[in-house]
Structure 1
Amino acid sequence: MATQTLLHYLSVGLPRIPTQGTTSSPNTTNPQYDAGDIAQIEPWPEFSYPSVIARYGQLLHSKLIRAEPFTSPPAPIKDEPTFHLRFADLVMSRVRRALRAGFQELAPELRARQLSAITIDGGGSARIIDQFRPDVAFIVVDASLSTGVNRAPGDLKVSWKWESSMQFSQNLADRREYKQVLAQVNFYMDQHNARHGFILTNSELVAVKRLDRDGHLAVARPVLWTSGGTGQLSVLLGLWYLGMLAAEDNHWALS
């Protein structure tokens, strides 16, 4: 059975997902959060390939994992529910495998490194607070489904409703829509006291770091859905790294 390094496994670009019959509409709104909650946005340059390699390069180069190539093109999507299905098939299962492999290798060092083994799952696998359910959760392995904390909440969107370039649009409505989605993720992070979170669409991954409780966020450069290869941050590697950040017992929460 063919094997490859964990780095190679995670560095592959994702296959483009076709779209059919899409309809543009506003993103989720709620009285509990609003675009106006985002007071300031700054870059997060440390969320990068060099940072991942500096921290976990030895593990990524040495750990071997069974290869899992993409063997057929994904079916089309038309809305967020169908994108959720493609995410589960193409992304979540691979990130879960990679996290499990990494933590198996680090098992003797977890206590010394002050890390907890983390996995990725649907938002309902963590504690639901006031009926708010993020789409994705990074949780401690074997944590209780009713009390476990979502250490890095994620929200899934579709590219025709949200994209990172909206931040710089000349259209005020686009800029507000950009912040509206950030506000939703910021709200989830605040509920779980998490420092990190993310937005994933069928075209890009955008990692988010909460700097305070007053709407001051650091936002990483988008990682394109199809990005990958030597020296490139891919969606899989980026999500794996978010899982590793969520594993840091003394740093995942905003103090």
Structure 2
Amino acid sequence: MAATQSLLAYLETEAPQRLPTQNTAPGPNTTNINYNYRDIKQISAWPEFSYNVILQQYGPELNTRQVVPDPMPTSPPRAIRDESLALRETFDQLSPQLLARQLTSIAFDGGTAANLVLNYKPDMAFVDIISDVGEGKNRCPGDLKAKEYRQVLAQVNFYMKQNGARYGFIITDTELVPVKRVSEDGHVAVATAIPWTQHGPGQLTILLGLWYLGMLAASNSWGL
């Protein structure tokens, strides 16, 4: 029988292969006449996006669910594959409680898995699993950027507004930056950035952070 480990251990004990930000276009980050840095009127902290809060909300599920690590090495990128497995295991365990907990089963995928509003394409998507490819709302759009995240907050905020989403994220070549849209008028909250190198018991890792973004996107309160 293959060795298993808790879902929490699976998400926190190994630094994953980085998503391919090196494949994004070189030079300045994406610009568009429909958004710019002036759209961000206020940036506040998001202290609730933390290891302790995640364990308070989902500790039993993370500690009791056993998973078999996927040995496949490269395709799709491991961070995407690991997130997909972790979310499948979570929603399978929570299946009898989804309605009561106001959750919807979702998947983590590339941006084209969701509906592209006016053909604008975020790099990543959290989307309802019952939606046809390219049809569902992107509940938590994400962008892969090789440059510093503050330059792309307006872009991710634009994607969130297009999809009516409360949550989003930016992945750079060094970190994951979770983002929450607080209001319609350009107020966003930004969590403490999670480095790719951060891993180990008790650490908020990239994989655990993405998993929690998935759970926030799965909530009935995902929209704004």
Larger radius of gyration: 1
1:222, distance to aligned residue in structure 2 (A) = 0.4
Q: Is the 8 A contact 1:154 1:185 kept in 2?
A: yes
Give the number of equivalent residue pairs: 221
Q: How far apart, in 1, do the equivalents of 2:17 and 2:7 lie?
A: 22
Q: What does residue 196 of structure 2 align with?
A: 225
The CA deviation string for residues 213-253 of structure 1, in whole angstroms up to 9 with x for no partner, is 1110000000000111111100000000000000111x100
Separation of aligned partners in 2, 1:226 and 1:8: 16
Provide the alpha-carbon RMSD of the alignment: 2.2
1:116 alignment partner AA: T
Confirm whether residue 117 of structure 1 aligns to residue 105 of structure 2: yes
Q: Which runs of 5+ in 1 are unaligned?
A: 75-84, 165-177
Q: Which runs of 5+ in 2 are unaligned?
A: none
- Segments ≥4 residues shifted beyond 3 Å: 15-20, 68-71
Given that 2:17 and 2:78 are in contact with CA atoms closer than 8 Å, whether structure 1 keeps it comes out as no
| Corresponding residue of 1:126 | 114
1:253 aligned residue: 223
Identity in percent: 50
Residue in 1 that maps onto 2:161: 190
The aligned residue for residue 12 of structure 1 is 13
Establish whether residue 163 from structure 1 lines up as the match of residue 164 from structure 2: no
Task: Return the TM-score normalized by structure 1.
Answer: 0.81
Cα distance in 2, alignment partners of residues 245 and 148 from structure 1: 16
Once the 2 structures are TM-superposed, how far is the Cα of residue 70 of structure 1 from its aligned partner? Answer: 9.0
Structure 2 residue corresponding to 1:38, chosen from 26, 37, 40: 40
Counterpart of 1:104 in structure 2 is 92
CA distance 1:151–1:25, change in 2 (3 Å): same
Pairing of 1:167-178 with structure 2 (within 5 A): 178=150
Tell me what 1:141 maps to.
129
Instruction: Report deviation, 1:207.
Output: 0.1
Q: Find the residue that maps to 1:130 and give its secondary structure.
A: helix
Distance 1:28 1:14 in 2: 28
Aligned AA for 2:198?
Answer: S
* Counterpart amino acid of residue 92 in structure 1: I
Report the CA distance between 1:24 and its aligned residue: 6.1
Letter in 2 for 1:149: K
Among candidates 193, 209, 212, match of residue 180 of structure 2: 209
SS in 2 for 1:227: coil
Q: Distance in 2 between matches of 1:225 and 1:54?
A: 24
Return the alpha-carbon distance in structure 2 between the equivalents of residues 236 and 19 of structure 1.
16
Match of 1:174 in 2: none
Does the residue aligned with 1:199 lie in a helix, a strand or coil?
A: strand
- Residue 153 of structure 2 aligns to a residue whose secondary structure is helix
How far the C-alpha of 1:125 sits from its partner, in A, is: 0.8
Task: Tell me the TM-score normalized by structure 2.
Answer: 0.92
Residues in 2 aligned to 1:212 and 1:19: alpha-carbon distance in whole angstroms: 29
Amino acid at match of 1:248: S
What corresponds to 1:175 in structure 2?
A: none
Aligned residue identity for 2:68: R
What SS class does the counterpart of residue 112 from structure 1 fall into? coil
For residue 212 of structure 2, what is the aligned residue in structure 1? Answer: 241
